[in-house]
Structure 1
Amino acid sequence: MMKNLLIIITLLLSFCSFGAKAQEKLIDRVVATVGSGIILQSDIDNQYMQYLANGGTPDSDFKCSALQQLIMTKLLAQQAVIDSVEVTESEVDDQLNARMREMVRRAGNQERLEGFLKRSLLQYKEEMRPILSEQLKANKLQGTIVQKITITPQEVKRYFEGLNQDSLPHFNTEVEIGEIVVNPVLTKEEKSVFREKAEGFRKQVIDGTDFGTVARFYSEDGSAPYGGELGFATRDAYVKEFSAMAFRLKEGEVSPVFETQFGFHFLQVLERRGEEVNVRHVLVKTKPTTASLERTKAKIDSIYDKVSSGKLPFHTAATLYSDNKETKFNGGMVINEQSQSRTTLIPVDILEKELFVAIDPLKPGEYSKPFQFTDRTGQLAYKFNYLKTRIPPHKASLDQDFAKIQEAAQEDKTRRKLSEWFEKKTKATFVHVSDDFQQCEELKIWLTPKDNDIAAK
Structure 2
Amino acid sequence: MNLKYLTKIAAGIILVFSALTGNAQEVVVTDSTAIQPQEEVAENTVTNNNERRRVEGIAAVVGDYIILDSDIDLMYKQMQSQNMSTADVTECQLAGSLMENKLYAHHAVQDSIVVLDADIRGYIDQQIAEMVRQLGSMEKVVEYYNKGSESELQDELFEINKQRQLSQKMQQKIVEGIEVTPEEVRAYFEEMKKDELPIFGDEVEISQIVIEPEVPESEKQKAIDRLNEFRADVVDNDASFRTKAILYSDDTNTGGSILSLGRKDNFVKEFKDVAFSLQEGEVSEPFETEFGFHIIEIDKIRGQQVDLRHILIIPEVTNATVEKAKAEIDTIRKRINEGELTFAEAAKASSDEDETRGDGGRLRNPQTGDTKFELTKLDPTLYNQVVNLEEGEMSLRLSDQDGTGKPFFKIIQVTKRVAEHEANYATDYLKIKDLALQAKQLEAIEKWQKEKIADTYIKINGKFRSCEYNSNWLKK
Does TM, scored on the shorter chain, surpass 0.5?
yes
Give the secondary structure class of the aligned counterpart of 2:188: helix
Hey, what's the Cα distance between the residues in 1 that align with 2:279 and 2:254? 22
Q: Is the 8 A contact 1:194 1:264 kept in 2?
A: yes
Amino acid aligned to 1:347: E
Contact in 2 for aligned 1:87/1:133 (Cα 8 Å): no
Secondary structure of the 2:434 match is helix
Query: Could you tell me which residue of structure 1 aligns to residue 298 of structure 2?
Result: 269
**Map of 2:113 onto structure 1:** 86
CA distance in 1, matches of 2:213, 2:284: 27
What is the TM-score with the length of structure 2 in the denominator? 0.74
Matched, 1:346 2:376: no
The one of 212, 217, 228 equivalent to 2:242 is 212
Verify the 8 A CA contact 1:34 1:432 in the aligned structure 2: yes
**Which letter maps to 2:419?**
P
> Structure 1, unaligned stretches of length 5 or more?
1-14, 450-457
When residues 106 and 388 of structure 1 are mapped into structure 2, their CA distance, relative to the original with a 3 A threshold, is: farther
Matching of residues 220-235 of structure 1 within 5 Å: 220-225=250-255, 227-234=256-263
How many Å apart are 1:394 and its aligned residue?
Answer: 2.6
Alignment partner for residue 147 of structure 1, among 166, 176, 180? 176
What is the deviation of 1:74? Answer: 4.0
Q: 2:188 aligns to what?
A: 159
* Residue 31 (structure 1) aligns with: 59
AA at the equivalent of 1:68: G
Match of residue 318 from structure 2: 289
Secondary structure of residue in 1 paired with 2:283: coil
Report matched runs for 1:69-148 at 5 Å.
69-80=97-108, 84-87=111-114, 89=116, 93-94=118-119, 97-98=122-123, 101=126, 104-105=129-130, 108-109=133-134, 111=138, 113-117=141-145, 118=147, 124-129=153-158, 132-133=161-162, 135-148=164-177
Measured after TM superposition, the shift of residue 383 of structure 1 is 1.0
Counterpart position of 2:352: 323
Cα displacement (A) at 1:271: 1.3
1:401-439, CA deviations, whole angstroms, 9 ceiling, x for partnerless residues?
A: 332233222212221222122223323334221214335
Per the alignment, residue 186 of structure 1 pairs with 215
Where does 1:49-60 land on structure 2 (aligned, <5 Å)?
Answer: none
Report if the CA contact (8 A) 1:315-1:332 is conserved.
yes
Question: Helix, strand or coil: the match of 1:333?
Answer: coil
The count of aligned residue pairs is 428
**What is the SS of the residue equivalent to 1:294?**
helix
State how far apart, in whole Å, the 1-side matches of 2:186 and 2:97 are.
Answer: 32
Cα gap change, 1:272/1:298 in structure 2, threshold over 3 Å: closer, same or farther?
Answer: same
3-state SS in 2 of match to 1:366 = coil
Structure 2: gaps of 5 or more residues = 1-14, 29-52
In the alignment, does 2:421 pair up with 1:391? no
How far did residue 333 of structure 1 move? Answer: 1.4
Q: Distance in 2 between matches of 1:390 and 1:192?
A: 46
Q: Report percent identity of matched pairs.
A: 30
Q: 1:230 to 1:188 in 2, by over 3 A?
A: same
Q: Deviations over 1:254-275 (max 9, x none)?
A: 3344433222333322111122
**CA separation of 1:100/1:301 partners in 2, compared to 1, >3 Å: closer, same or farther?**
same
AA aligned opposite 1:410:
L
| Pair 1:447 & 2:470 matched | no
Moved more, 115-124 or 418-427: 115-124
Shift of 1:389: 0.7
Q: 1:123 to 1:58 in 2, by over 3 A?
A: farther
Q: Which amino acid aligns with 1:407?
A: D
Matches for 1:239-388 after TM superposition, within 5 Å? 239-337=268-366, 339=367, 341-388=368-415
What do the CA deviations read for 1:246-300 (whole angstroms, capped 9, x no partner)? 3333333333444332223333221111222211122222232211111222332
Q: Distance in 2 between matches of 1:86 and 1:286?
A: 41
**CA distance in structure 2 between the aligned counterparts of 1:47 and 1:376, rounded to whole angstroms:** 34
Q: TM-score, normalised by structure 1?
A: 0.76
Structure 1 pair 197/397, CA: closer, same or farther in 2 (3 Å)? same
1:423 aligns with 2:450: yes
Task: Output the amino acid matched with 1:404.
Answer: K
Q: How much has 1:79 moved relative to structure 2?
A: 4.4
Per-residue deviation at 1:380? 0.8
Deviation digits for residues 53-109 of structure 1 (CA, Å, limit 9, x no counterpart): 996769696975554344324434554555x443252xx543553465357547735
Task: Name which of structure 1's ranges 436-445 and 139-148 shifts more when overlaid on structure 2.
Answer: 436-445
Residue of structure 1 in register with 2:34 after alignment: none
**Which one has the bigger helix percentage?**
1
